[in-house]
Structure 1
Amino acid sequence: MTRKKVKLAYIEDLSSRKATFRKRKAGLMKKMYEISTLCGVDACAIIYSPFNNEPQVWPSNEGVQDVLSKFEELCEIDQSKQKLNQDSFLRQRIRKTDEQLKKQIRLNREKELSQIMYRLLSGEILHNLSIDDVNDLQTKMVRFRKDITMRIHSLEEAEGHPINGN
């Protein structure tokens, strides 16, 4: 059974907000326990809330102190190696999205050129092609012909005799 997507917005009702906080905090603490146990990593959580005067920590104050002291003993380069702040996270996401966009533009262009090529090969006359379209189409057709020639040669080698045609 799947859950419905939760709309992330501030919960106005105080009692609902407290209940949600309590449940989410318990889930977070459980996840911290699971990741430290299953993966064998040192982990800790410190949660400040408006509902408690003292911060809540996992696993214990001593455990948190151990993890934090290990972290502070690392040199600054090692400390910041895997850290992500909002700025670097957003830059990383933008870079990844830009790469995906460029890839999709390239794939769309390839599909467009394939459609034009097949229309031309079927005898259709296209008058509205730009110089770029013609140049890209020529490159694609040369590549397409090389692929066909290579496929013919591999089939000839597999069968042991030449296939007629140019």
Structure 2
Amino acid sequence: MVRGKTQMKRIENAASRQVTFSKRRNGLLKKAFELSVLCDAEVALIIFSTRGKLYEFSSASMSKTIERYEMREKDNTGINNKLAALDQNTQNVKEDAQSMAKKIELLENSKQKLLGNGLEPCSLNELNQLETNLERSLSRIRERKNLLFRQQIEKLKQECGMKPSPWSTSTEEETMEVETELFIGPPERRRIQNP
């Protein structure tokens, strides 16, 4: 006699359902026993019927097996929490990296504008602000350069045995401005006059 394939759905007839439960329960308990003996595995099986009756099998103490299971679940939960924290940390690092990449891009654009490249999309206000920033920077560079020149001159005078000049003071050095022929902006047309 050939068995037909059983459909996996709830059996509607209550008597057939109870008979199937008893047969399959016994087969399941037998398989659990065989698995524990043949493979030396720690097996615990708990079954509750629809009426609430308990059927169980355990190759060792049921309470010890359940405690062992709970410990394993706590470890897995701890690992899962650590993995979640690691994922969150990774996400934060990615966001920081994206933020830094945007800042670097803005700085690169600013650098290119300071070098005179990529000025086409700039508005008049942006160009005026850029010019003001360049003039301030140039002024500080000139002050530093002049200070170093004066210090070098004073050092050379001391080496030659000359006295330092009385007009050279630190406050005067800081506020002194020097004019140069350096011009920031478009070149002016100048006529050269013949002497």
Instruction: Provide the TM-score with structure 2 as the length reference.
Output: 0.35
> Rg bigger for which structure?
2
Instruction: Provide the TM-score with structure 1 as the length reference.
Output: 0.41
